[in-house]
Amino acid sequence: MTKTKQDYQQIVKQYSAVAMLLFFIILNSLFTPNFFRMGTLNNIITQICPTVLCGMGMTLVISTGGIDISVGSVMALAGVMTAKLMPETGLVPAILLAVAASVLVGCIAGFFVGVLDLQAMVITLGLMLGVRGAAQVLCDGRDIYFNKLGDVGEQLSLLGTYKIGGIVPVQIIPILIFVVAVWIIVEKTVFGRQIQAVGDNIKSSALAGINTSAVMMAVYGFSGFCAAFAGIFMIMLLCKKVKKIKVVSYLGRYSIITLSIHGPILHFLGPLVSRYIHNSWAQASVLLLITLSICILLTPVFLKVIPQMVAQKDLLKVKQDHTKKTVYEDK
């Protein structure tokens, strides 16, 4: 059977990620001395853990046609909450509370996007700054000195640097768990098919009986869940690597559009606001209002551009289906 152009495009689409991974492995092996040593592999596993966890949550969000740019701020919130609550509640309750707060943030985003039908980029951009401000308030707007956390810092440090069998970093466990879990959800469950259906056409999915609002809230909640564990594992690692750090700013860089949108706002307006307003809550509120105002101004642009992009995508899909049908009839 002769393969058509669409078949080759499908093959390229399916294996492009694997090809890109192999390309970077070969590239690094050529230019990085001792790349295939166990120490290098351990460093890679340790460093990519937060990115992989955030990516797994983002996979489901993007599959629905949405986006979540608040993950960096959620990471910061979860990390700060864990470090702050551990002395009073212990490790497990602190992690559970941090994860619950992060999932709540995700569900709020899902509610606005799925139930109120607002633009995902606008909502998550506002949440990015709001959650970032909450995390900033929790650490009193100051650096966190990990060497002054006492037993808490030691516990976090031991967890973050523990190696299974003295060889493999503990970060490999959440990486494998989350990757396998997302694969099972997407490929083997009804919920995964519902996610893909919503991503293809949300209106048709609703007419087919799918609760699109529940799907959207679930995927954004899962994104918050993944971001929470990413922030917690990053905090565990930072306790060993550095003595002090601006946790909110450091983890906030994991937001996709932080550097391009929120970064300039915080860089130019942050010092100006802090010069005249000394209360942390007031600073966060003012910066939040500024960001929301920008979001409101940009909303008409999103409402005009995004539907056009969706319409073009649907039109391309109809043309591809028509082409396949024509080829089949000719045969």
The two three-digit tokens of residue 226, written as one number: 């993944």
Q: Are 147 and 244 in contact (CB under 8 A)?
A: yes
What are the CA-CA distances from residue 22 to residues 25, 27, 29, 257, 265 (Å)? 5, 8, 10, 27, 38
pLDDT in tens, 72-85: 888 888 888 887 78
Whole-model pTM? 0.71
The two three-digit tokens of residue 287, written as one number: 């910066």
Residue 259's pLDDT is what?
Answer: 42
Nearest CA to 224 out of 111, 75, 62, 113 is that of: 75
Residue 68's pLDDT is what?
Answer: 86
The answer to whether residue 260 scores a pLDDT higher than 50 is no
pLDDT in tens, 92-130: 888 899 999 999 999 999 999 988 888 888 888 888 878
Nearest-angstrom CA–CA distance, 132 and 80: 11
| Count of CB atoms situated within 10 Å of the CB of 89 | 14
The answer to whether residue 275 scores a pLDDT higher than 50 is yes
Residue 234's pLDDT is what?
Answer: 80
| Count of CB atoms situated within 10 Å of the CB of 13 | 9
Residue 163's DSSP bridge partners are 169
Q: Are 197 and 207 in contact (CB under 8 A)?
A: no
Averaged pLDDT of the chain = 75
Greatest mean pLDDT among 20-29, 48-57, 96-105 lies in 96-105
- Tracing tokens 């990115």 back to the chain, one arrives at 51
3-state per-residue secondary structure call for the chain: CCCCHHHHHHHHHHHHHHHHHHHHHHHHHHHCCCCCCHHHHHHHHHHHHHHHHHHHHHHHHHHCCCCCCCHHHHHHHHHHHHHHHHHHHCHHHHHHHHHHHHHHHHHHHHHHHHHCCCCHHHHHHHHHHHHHHHHHHHCCCCCEEHHHCCHHHHHHHHHHHCEECCCEECCHHHHHHHHHHHHHHHHHCHHHHHHHHHHHCHHHHHHCCCCHHHHHHHHHHHHHHHHHHHHHHHHHHHHHHCCEECHHHHHHCCCCCHHHHHHHHHHHHHHHHHHHCCCHHHHHHHHHHHHHHHHHHHHHHHHHHHHHHHHHHHHHHHHHHHHHHHHHHHC
Q: CB neighbours of 200 closer than 8 A, spacing ≥ 6? A: 317
pLDDT in tens, 131-177: 887 877 777 666 555 555 556 666 666 676 778 777 888 888 889 99
Q: Are 127 and 284 in contact (CB under 8 A)?
A: no
Residue 256's pLDDT is what?
Answer: 47
- Tracing tokens 């043309």 back to the chain, one arrives at 319
Q: Are 55 and 116 in contact (CB under 8 A)?
A: no
Task: pLDDT band for 20, please (50, 70, 90 cuts).
Answer: confident
